[in-house]
Amino acid sequence: MPFPNTSVITIERFIMDQERRHPAATGELSNLLYDIALGAKIIASAVRRAGLINILGSANSVNIQGEEQQQLDVFANDALKNSMSHTGRVCVMASEEDEEVIPIAEDIPHGKYAVLFDPLDGSSNIDNNNPVGTIFSIYRRITMEGHGTLTDVLQPGRSQIAAGYVMYGSSVMLVYTTGNGVHGFTLDPTIGEFVLSHRDIRIPETGKYYSINESYFARWSKGMQQAVRGLHGDFPSRIKGKNSRYIGALVADFHRNLISGGIFLYPGETGRPQGKLRLCYEASPLAMVAEHAGGAATDGLNRILDMVPATLHQRTPLVIGSKHDVEFVAEMLREHES
Ligand code: AFP
């Protein structure tokens, strides 16, 4: 068997190199990113063993969104909390799986960062052995000291200082940005490290794919229906038709479109005007990644990163991906819904 490459760039080395470019950096953000990477490795190992150790299936509890929690959801939520709660780097956390903000224990120093996460996105894919993901978002606290509060986590997406996701697929990838490019790392299971595999990811301006759950077509607005017809290729003078791909796990759909070019849409619909996805845990962090890779993200009218959440679990329509494709959809919505 060949020996592994000894000059790989691990995520630790990469983050450290980036930190050196900012002489004022204290290293705390770097350490927080390692903490998240550690949580992701723990989740990855459980996802990989899920079928073997019989932790598939329902945990018999219902989360704040009214969805049945899977055992792996509960595990992933705990893994992330535990990887960050004792370090003194975080003042408060919020998770898609918890109704309220997650405080840091009294006896632990309260750090300067607020972290939000969706621990296991796409969890209905678990039982079918399809990809799932983790999404995270980091803000600098606004409150001055002590326990972090709701104010620290209800900030507009443009205030994020880092965001990213982990995809547990045929390989495990962690993709993040701190505002200096979007970088991707693949977990090398032989050494247990995330190694740099995709430096400075740029999303093509026009994509090959569109990703949307078309079974909801009849429930969309006229503008959205016309936009999707355009993506099918019905208006070739305005936009070239695309191929359809939909996995049903946002991270996996987003990741494919980020790398190959494409657009993901989860619009509002009759009876559910804000759609399904959450602004704080899904839309804002992926919007930061998309924009720093040269893409765009909107709710149809507003830039996602400018939206200020009023509540922790607020939902939003989401149109995200290649810039020209997102612009096309926004134009169609404006034309038909003004
Ligand atoms: P689950 O975590 O309940 O599987 O939901 C996943 C998700 O939030 C997102 O990852 C998908 O893109 C989207 O929902 C799929 O929703 P539909 O099944 O309505 O298309």
Check if 69 has its Cβ closer than 6 Å to any atom of ligand 1: no
Torsion angles phi and psi, residue 84, rounded to 5: -120, -20
The one-letter amino acid at 230:
G
Give the pLDDT confidence score for residue 311 in this predicted structure.
97
Q: Are 26 and 16 in contact (CB under 8 A)?
A: no
- Cα 95 from Cα 295, distance rounded (Å): 26
> Which ligand 1 atom lies nearest to the CA of residue 277?
8
Q: pTM for this structure?
A: 0.94
Give the pLDDT confidence score for residue 317 in this predicted structure.
98
Nearest CA to ligand 1 atom 19: 213
Check if 134 has its Cβ closer than 6 Å to any atom of ligand 1: no
Check if 73 has its Cβ closer than 6 Å to any atom of ligand 1: no
Which of 96, 121, 216 to probe ligand 1 with, by most ligand atoms within 8 A of CB? Answer: 121
Give the pLDDT confidence score for residue 187 in this predicted structure.
96
Give the pLDDT confidence score for residue 71 in this predicted structure.
85
Give the pLDDT confidence score for residue 218 in this predicted structure.
98
Q: pLDDT by residue (tens digit) across 148-200?
A: 999 999 999 999 999 999 999 999 999 999 999 999 999 999 999 999 999 99
- Cα 269 from Cα 187, distance rounded (Å): 38
Q: With CA atoms as reference, report the closest residue to 329 among 223, 203, 189, 240.
A: 223
Q: With CA atoms as reference, report the closest residue to 283 among 125, 99, 121, 70.
A: 121
SS3 107: coil
Give the pLDDT confidence score for residue 15 in this predicted structure.
85
- As averages over each run of 10 residues, the pLDDT of the chain (338 residues) reads 72 86 81 95 89 61 68 93 95 97 92 96 85 97 91 98 96 95 95 94 98 98 97 96 96 98 98 97 98 98 97 98 98 89
SS3 223: helix
Tell me, in angstroms, the distance from the centre of ligand 1 to residue 118's CA. Answer: 12
Check if 72 has its Cβ closer than 6 Å to any atom of ligand 1: no
Strands (E), the chain: 58-62, 68-70, 90-95, 102-103, 113-121, 132-140, 160-168, 172-177, 182-188, 193-198, 209-211, 243-244, 262-266, 296-298, 318-321
Q: Are 127 and 68 in contact (CB under 8 A)?
A: no
Q: With CA atoms as reference, report the closest residue to 222 among 338, 324, 319.
A: 338
Which of 73, 211, 247, 266 to probe ligand 1 with, by most ligand atoms within 8 A of CB? Answer: 266
Check if 213 has its Cβ closer than 6 Å to any atom of ligand 1: yes
Tell me, in angstroms, the distance from the centre of ligand 1 to residue 97's CA. Answer: 14
Give the pLDDT confidence score for residue 199 in this predicted structure.
96
Which of 47, 276, 316 to probe ligand 1 with, by most ligand atoms within 8 A of CB? Answer: 276
Give the pLDDT confidence score for residue 64 in this predicted structure.
73
Q: Radius of gyration (Cα) for the chain, nearest Å?
A: 20
Which of 47, 124, 214, 244 to probe ligand 1 with, by most ligand atoms within 8 A of CB? Answer: 124
Give the pLDDT confidence score for residue 59 in this predicted structure.
65
Tell me, in angstroms, the distance from the centre of ligand 1 to residue 279's CA. Answer: 14
- Cα 220 from Cα 169, distance rounded (Å): 31
